[in-house]
Amino acid sequence: MATETTQGDGLADATGVAAHSATEQSAGMPQLDFSTWGNQIFWLVIALVVLYLILSRVALPRIGAVLAERQGTITNDIAAAEDLKAKAKEAEAAYDKALADARTEAHGIVAKAKEDIQADLDAAIAKADAEIAAKTAESEKAIAEIRAGALESVQEVANDAAKEIVAVLGGKADEKAVEAAVAARLKG
């Protein structure tokens, strides 16, 4: 009987081992085993709480600080850009005013230069007119002298020619009569 018992125990052991391996194989994934769900849920909650604490105490404040710094930088840059834009408008207005003043001054300089040139030109024209008038008066005087000299010369030549003509024709010319005849003919 002892052999039977041993044999019976062996059979019971073999059957128990087979049943145990069958339950292990039928359970599938250990995460889906309902007998360990309580333990898994406990550790899941612990992991989520630790993750929440790490994120809320370390990561999120750093991200918030970076975002706040970034927003501050953007705000400062926008304010600086508006200041620069206002300064640029002021500089443009000053440039336009300086340009208008320069143009006005240039027009004034041109007008003054034109007046100076016109005054110099008028003075030069007046001087030239005076010189021309003086030379004209001298020329007229010289022409009058030449004309008077020419009339005298013409009268002398006419007198001489008349005397010669009378002498050639065979007569004797009276000097006073020839001069009176030439003078009467020259007058018109």
Residue 131 lies in a domain: yes
pLDDT at position 31: 77
Residue 65 lies in a domain: yes
Amino acid at 62: R
Residue 156 lies in a domain: yes
Decide: 125 and 157 in contact? Cβ < 8 Å: no
The pLDDT tens digits of the residues spanning 26-78 come to 557 877 888 888 899 999 999 999 999 999 999 999 999 999 999 999 999 99
Domain count, the chain: 1
Regions of the chain with pLDDT less than 50: 1-8, 11, 22
pTM of the model: 0.40
**Which tokens go with 165?**
């003509």
Residue 178 lies in a domain: yes
pLDDT at position 2: 47
Host domain of residue 79: 40-187
Residue 159 lies in a domain: yes
pLDDT at position 18: 52
Residue 28 lies in a domain: no
Q: How far is CA 106 from CA 42, 91, 100, 101, 115, in A?
A: 92, 22, 10, 8, 14
Q: How far is CA 66 from CA 51, 58, 61, 71, 78, in A?
A: 21, 13, 9, 9, 18
